[in-house]
Structure 1
Amino acid sequence: MSSRHTTAIAGSLVAASFSAVMILSFPAGADDQGSGSSLGGKVVDKAPAGVKVTTLLPKKISVDNSSKNTAITATVKNEGTKDSGTLRLLVVGFGGLTVTNVQGCSEIPKKDLPPGSNSGFNCAVGHLAAGKSTSYAVDATYDLSKEGKICLPVRTGDGKKTYWQQGPVPFGTTNPSPNAPATPLLLGTDNKPVAPGGDQLPRTGVGSDVLPLGAAGAALIAVGAAGLRWSRRRPLEQQG
């Protein structure tokens, strides 16, 4: 993926987030919707009649206390009655949660990440037939001394519209267990930092129903406008 393409994705995503909800992405895998939750998800741009795109995240993940590694399954689903058209998924990490790899997806360069995020991947999902879904294996690390969130926006192939966005939604625990081999984290739970005095640490973002980028103001509008210009001048190639 070129820098211009990733700039278009990040920029227009930020513009959409400032106006209502933020939009943020992993390659198509097997047709497996898995088990999960759409907690923190919302419609951004209206999809065509018969198309209903959603995403799912696991209700529970586990962080290895030694390596800080964790694994997340992200699922994109078309619950409608018609083909979705070409889709893209963005997978973006915030705070203590850093996305290190999404199978088959392209990493978004640091300079093109939306403000407030620390990592991100852009994935070409392609078409989803009615009732079909695609799941992706997401590798991540989680610094349990911080709060961490993830965001899954689902966009059209050309990046001009975002049909759905889940998050930024937190994974966390209110009962840290630093001496255990692993710490279980629950979706929709703000993390209580393990480190001494962790309760005094600054929060990494706001509630899951509000974008953490809202306070950026004019800067976001400028970045979003630039992204939209890139999108109009050189649309993202369609990937099936």
Structure 2
Amino acid sequence: MRVLLVEDTRDVAEAIAIQLNRSGMACDMATDLDEARGFVAVQGYDVIVLDINLPDGLGTELLQELRGRGLRTPVIMLTALFSVDDRVSALNLGADDYLVKPFDQRELEARIHALCRREQGPKSEDVTLGDLVFNPTARVVTLRGQPLPLTRREFALLGLLIRNRGTLMDKERLYERLFSFDDADVGLNAVELYIARLRKKLAASDVRIETQRGLGYRILVDE
């Protein structure tokens, strides 16, 4: 999952980004509207976390621009304002949710996951593939009832393949969902490394990752 965080208080933004990265999300940070516009011009996001008060304007300006261009990326507004009118205005402009500062980091993560689940449609929390059970909210994977230990990026990669099962995911698409712009020193070959690690951990299951050379990867269940 890739998230854009637009927050001008750098220490707050960095603390949020670090925690989101630890939870397996790729998080890009922008400190003003201009920088945020540059990010959305070149990168798609699963969720945008957008502060209302920014140095060069209001976050609602960017929200209006996105919705005016037909982009339906879920947006969570961050606000220090307690006015009901301000919050209602943001929702009417196309925001999907809002959080009032200060907030608990766990609540932000929960709301990001909730918006992603909503975009994917109503589904059970548990996703079962053969003898593998994947729970994105609890961040738990079990194999024949036993926990399968995965690193955060292995978990994120498995989640991407499961959410897009039946579809070939090319290396570039996986890369942009696993790594942020701050991971510029990480090359595309890192995807192959994590695929190899994940394959090794799935070796005892009836789930496998198929490679179609030059096209991408997909997850399959052996009959």
Q: TM-score range with shorter-chain normalisation?
A: under 0.3
Structure with greater helix share of residues? 2
* Structure with higher strand content: 1
TM-score normalised over the length of structure 2 = 0.26
